[in-house]
Amino acid sequence: MKMSTRFSDAIHILAFIVIYKEKVQLSSDTIASSIGTSPVVVRRLMAQLKKGGLLTTVPGFADPTLKKPAEVVTLLDVYLTIEGDKPLFSVDPKTNPACIVGGNIQPTLTEYYRQAEVAAKAKLQQTTLQDLIDTILVRQAEKEAGK
């Protein structure tokens, strides 16, 4: 299947909420227009972000807010909330256990893959939502200055 864009869409939602706070109505319809997707997809992600402790929402009232300051929320927080323990690399789970390679490669590769994933996640943890928002606003200012 296609590679999931849920992680990037969830970041988009959070950044949108911070940037447009009190500027536009933060309904799933509005956010969906920015992402270019269906409002139901946005509501699914919002429900996950809420369940993961990153967002506060109220049914019937379009006023989602971050539960923690953007300076505290990291990209890793979002990743873990949306993707959970889904690995970045997939070990073939059906190898032949009667073979020396087939019987030992799964736990072996799983460990090496885990180390690579830890490295990637450590890097995601160094970036906050505020960092991303700052960069977006700088890029936008550059666009407006370049006109």
Binding site for DNA (CB under 7 A): 1-6, 9, 25-29, 36-41, 43-44, 46-47, 50, 57-62, 64, 86, 94
Look at the block and give the residue holding tokens 């869409």: 9
Question: CB under 5 to 8 A by kind: which of DNA, a second copy, none does 27 bind?
Answer: DNA
| Nearest in space to 67 (alpha carbons), one of 52, 81, 80 | 52
Counting contacts by CB under 8 A, is residue 2 touching a second copy? yes
Instruction: Using the minimum distance from each CB to a second copy, give the nearer residue, 59 or 112.
Output: 112
Among 50, 52, 66, 127, binds a second copy (CB under 8 A): 127
The number of residues that bind a second copy (CB under 8 A) is 61
Longest dimension (CA), the chain: 66
Residues of this chain, 74-113, that bind a second copy according to CB under 8 A: 75, 87-96, 99-105, 107-109, 111-112
Contacting residues for 21 by C-beta, under 8 A, at least 6 apart: 65
**Dihedral-angle region of residue 60 (phi above 0 means left; psi in -120 to 50 means alpha; beta otherwise):** left
Query: Is there a contact between 70 and 132 (Cβ–Cβ < 8 Å)?
Result: no
Give, to the nearest 10 degrees, the angle between helix 75-83 and helix 6-19.
130
Q: Is 62 in the site for a second copy (CB under 8 A)?
A: no
Applying CB under 8 A, the span of 42-50, 54-62, 65-73, 137-145 interacting with a second copy comes to 137-145
